[in-house]
Amino acid sequence: MTKVAFRKDKQDGEIVAVFPETNDGTNTYTSYAHYGQHSACCGAWVVESTRPAKPEEYAELLAELRAIGYDDLQIVSRTKWVKYM
């Protein structure tokens, strides 16, 4: 199973999928968004600039992830984000 947390940016409302088990030891995580697709994001941004997204907010992004091959997703709402190292 691939754990994923859907987050909503507090400023622009963009929904982002963050994969919490991809922390590389530098507080950087793999993320995925409609625009930009796969990229890196830092734990401080996740903690300070986003909030958990509601199912109706992330439904479209979840469908997109499944369409590109993520068929084993485990959606998590709570996890320990590494904010600073």
Question: Which pLDDT tens digit goes with each residue over 16-71?
Answer: 999 998 887 888 899 999 887 889 998 889 989 999 999 999 999 999 999 999 99
Domain range for 71:
2-75
Q: Tens digit of pLDDT for each residue in 5-16?
A: 999 999 999 999
Q: Is 46 within the bounds of a domain?
A: yes
Cβ burial 45-80 (10 Å sphere, 16+ → b, else e) = bbeeebeebeeeebeebbeebeeeeeeebeebeeee
Residue 79 one-letter amino acid:
T
Is position 58 within any domain? yes
Look at residue 83 and tell me if it is in a domain: no
C-beta of residue 8 within 8 angstroms of C-beta of residue 57: yes
pLDDT tier, 82 (very low <50, low <70, confident <90, very high otherwise)? low
Structural domain total, the chain: 1
Does residue 82 form part of some domain? no
The answer to whether residue 79 scores a pLDDT higher than 90 is: no
- CA 24, 85, 3, 13 dihedral sign is negative
Across the strands, what pairs with 37? 33
